Chain A
Amino acid sequence: MNPKDTQLSVRNVNLSFGGTQALVNLGFDVRQGEILAIIGPNGAGKTSLLNCLNRFYKVESGSIQFEGYDLTKIAPHRIAGLGIARTFQNIALYTGLSTLDNLMAARHIHMHSGLLQSLIYWGFAHREDISHRMVVEEIIDFLEMEHIRRSIVGSLPYGLRKRVELGRALAMEPRLLLLDEPMTGMNLEEKEDMARFILDLHERQKTTILLIEHDMGLVMDIADRVVVLDFGVKIAEGSPQEIREDQQVIKAYLGEAR
């Protein structure tokens, strides 16, 4: 696929909860290999959009195409296999497992041991575990998590848990990575680390990244393009430079924030 091709295209998507319209005729494209930021005030519908991509929410109308598949018509558990991974705004790790096992669990779609192989273990399942362990160790190195490899993630501090969750998403080797506010609640140093990881990752793997983030400075630094939502409506789309100068955005979002 060429770098400028469209990888994900969202068309006329509508979603509502009772009376509130969470997404209104939303449409935009994500291009292969770019970092697209989605910004907007609280309640703008950013997380709801990701939930539609994962089919946690069912869109009322519209289509979401990913590399030729219509995501609105695919079973939720099959979306991972298409190459889409995600982190959550409120962290959704397997709290009872170690960092290592959280990442190993994320290799699920790339592994093949079934009921019988798992019961017998020696042989196929064992070899498979070892070869996937190597991939996981690379990610642990990359995210500088060696020291928490064996820690039960439920007991890790918030910033590290966010990092483990990123690691778990990377272990899926996605072609599209959805990050829901990966830096919220972090201190400055942790934020800088996280931004560095995201940029590094993007550089090395050319993974497409759809990033939801509140920190405007950060978004302006790392995003290729920005989509702005307000009350479920797309009010602007363009380069960080264009967004910064957009009157409507300043009124709806930046004006409020600064």
Chain B
Amino acid sequence: MAILRPAGEFDTSYASDMATIRRPWQWCLLLVFLLALFTLPFYASQGLVALVNRIGITIIAVQGLSLLTGFTGQISLGQAAFMTAGGYVSALLVNELGWPFLLALPAAAIAAGLVGLIFGLPSLRVKGFYLVMATLAAQFIIPWFTRNAFQDVLNGAQGLNVQVPVIFGVEFNTPQRYIFLTLTVLVLTTILAFNVTRSRLGRAFISIRDNDLAAELLGVNLFKYKLQAFFLASMYAGLAGSLAAHQLRHINSETFTLIDSIIFMGMLVIGGLGSNLGPIFGAIVVEFLIEAATLLGPFVAMIFPAKSAGVVQALRPLFFGTSLMLFLIFEPRGLAYRWQLFKAAWRLRPFSH
């Protein structure tokens, strides 16, 4: 039931049966969609391009969290801290060592992955609530480190100015250009996420999530695979952190905060845990809700003129919080699950009712 296909068509071989995308017209649809995305700067406003760019980076961070929390069942509130790690590493490699961005980006991912690995160590001993506390430690230690350690390089609380990425002589200095970078990385991370979750590694992850005792009995080395999940999740955070830092052209200990980690978790829940579409749905919906709050702000401000300045600021968390609650009440399995139901109905058409 993994994919949209009408009743009556059956698979001829295991290879095509296992494929994520199985029908030519699905490939076409996907291509058209990607084309529309990549040509966005040619027909959309700068504001929209910037928004899509931001959403793209957010999706990458949430995809990492999805592998760790959605597929492996290890709850983490450290994702933003690992973005900080990736952002700093990438900034330093480009600024100080003169590395090309194309090398600094994967290096930042691996560095953030290793940092995540360290904070994943408690996962062997503790689960659930206690693991949340352990990952929370990252959210305190890493920003503290950037503020207080190696001040001559990291520049303390001020943080670093980050150079604009230059690839083959092209400067990615506007949202219209940057979006190509973000989308390319996003396509890659999406493919990798699909690959992981359909392979032996992903099945080991899901085994741990669904029943860790049974997983161990079936020969899954819990420690090894939990650490691999932490590594992958933090690598994704590292990529997102690097992309964001080079776009903002600045990074300090407060660029990515605990609030971001919490919002990522909310996006994952709204989008749907245990699905590769979850992060995409979740990030888009939440970002657009927050955007809606910004647009509504002026109107609400007219109603409460005395507090007009604070209204927009107040609306964003309100929108996020309310939508999270509504989802937890009405669709705790998230949007990806809705989508599954819709596709199932489509496959059985015209007998869906």
Contact = CB atoms under 8 A, between A and B. Distances in A.
Nearest to B13: A130
A108 B203 contact: yes
Nearest to B274: A96
A93 B15 contact: no
Given A93-B211, A133-B18, A80 B195 contact: no
B48 to A, nearest CB: 32
Given A96-B206, A115-B201, A121-B198, 7 more contacts: A85-B218, A105-B218, A108-B207, A113-B201, A115-B232, A125-B199, A168-B218
Interface string A75-91: 11111110001101000
6 contacts: A97-B210, A104-B203, A108-B204, A113-B201, A129-B200, A172-B219
B interface, size bucket: 20 to 34
A21 interface: no
Contacts of B192: 119
A interface, size bucket: 35 or more
Contact of B201 (A54, A78, A118, A134): A118
Given A94-B207, A133-B18, A150-B1, A118 B274 contact: no
B195 to A, nearest CB: 4
B4 to A, nearest CB: 15
B195 A119 contact: yes
Contacts of A113: 199-201
In the A-B complex, list the 9 residue pairs whose CB atoms are closest, starting with the nearest. Answer: A80-B219, A118-B201, A121-B195, A94-B210, A109-B219, A118-B199, A92-B214, A105-B203, A113-B200
B165 interface: no
Contacts of A115: 201, 228, 231-232
A161 to B, nearest CB: 13
B21 interface: no
Nearest to B204: A108
A85 B219 CA distance: 10
Nearest to B195: A121
A76 B221 CA distance: 9
A92 B213 contact: yes
B289 interface: no
B14 interface: yes
Contacts of A56: 213
Contacts of B200: 107-108, 111, 113, 118, 125, 128-129
